[in-house]
């Protein structure tokens, strides 16, 4: 079984203190930082772009797990790689040529993630599973933090885990959306090894980030 990793979403952080917030996450034992990039077009919200990521990159040394919810995504890959992303995750629906976008990310020496929205099926990416490092399963409809977890997506996680085993393919399974202390065990049991969480990490237990990260890891 892969080590369980926590990727806190800075969508729930204090945006006026982002530099300090990611430093706190690093010190509290976060494995990586999840950065949600939204364009107001592919998803109904606007967040941050390359200049902010570049500025934050100077404040901590752990990996930046950058989730691009933008369309068309291909032409922006270079900018996010240059800004300091370590993992670049894209949606198959946001590119005209998924294989080309995967190869582009790999050519920049970044890890490749592909994300599936709740209604998106594994068939969209099944031909590329050997080429990618991470599959991100959305357990809410992307766009806003603090939404309720959709348990039905766990079947998709289980199917991915089965494919991994049957075809001997090694990729991380990440889950994002409404992850909290009540459902993290179910997500891990289904096969997820990276949990993205925002509200739970920043707001639970009076904002005790280290405690919340460890609770999500089931420590």
DSSP, residue by residue, 163-175: HHHHHT---EEEE
Return the bridge partners of 197, or none.
8
Token representation of residue 177: 């959306």
CA Rg value for the chain? 16
User: Among this protein's residues, is 176 annotated catalytic?
Assistant: yes
Out of 36, 39, 65, 133, the active site residue is 36
β-pair type (87-90, 111-116): parallel
Catalytic residue among 14, 133, 176, 182: 176
- Beta 5-8 vs 63-69: how paired, if at all? unpaired
Q: How far apart are CA 186 and CA 88, in angstroms?
A: 26
Contact 74, 98 (CB under 8 A): no
3-state secondary structure of 75: helix
With contact defined as beta carbons under 8 Å apart, do 9 and 198 qualify? yes
Give per-residue burial for 77-102: e unless 16+ CB within 10 Å, then b.
beebbebbbbbbbbbbebbeebeebb
Active-site annotation holds for 36 = yes
- Secondary structure of residue 29 in the 3-state scheme: coil
Enumerate the active-site residues: 36, 176
């Amino acid at each position: 079984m892969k080590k369980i990793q926590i990727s806190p979403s800075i969508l729930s952080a204090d945006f006026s203190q982002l530099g300090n917030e990611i430093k706190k996450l690093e010190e509290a034992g976060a494995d990586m930082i999840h950065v949600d990039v939204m364009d107001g077009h592919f998803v109904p919200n606007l967040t941050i772009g390359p200049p902010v990521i570049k500025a934050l990159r100077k404040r901590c040394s752990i990996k930046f797990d950058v989730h691009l919810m933008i369309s068309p995504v291909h032409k922006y890959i270079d900018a996010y790689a240059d800004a300091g992303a370590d993992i670049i995750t894209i949606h198959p629906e946001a590119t005209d040529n998924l294989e080309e976008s995967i190869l582009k990310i790999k050519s920049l020496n970044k890890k490749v993630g592909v994300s599936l929205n709740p209604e998106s099926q594994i068939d969209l990416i099944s031909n590329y599973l050997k080429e990618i490092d991470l599959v991100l399963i959305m357990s809410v409809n992307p766009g806003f933090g603090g939404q309720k977890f959709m348990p039905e997506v766990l079947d998709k996680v289980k199917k991915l885990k089965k494919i991994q085993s049957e075809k001997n393919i090694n990729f991380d399974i990440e889950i994002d959306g409404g992850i909290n202390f009540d459902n993290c065990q179910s997500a891990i049991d289904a096969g997820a090894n990276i949990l993205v969480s925002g509200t739970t990490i920043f707001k639970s237990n009076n904002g005790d980030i280290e405690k919340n990260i460890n609770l999500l890891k089931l420590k």
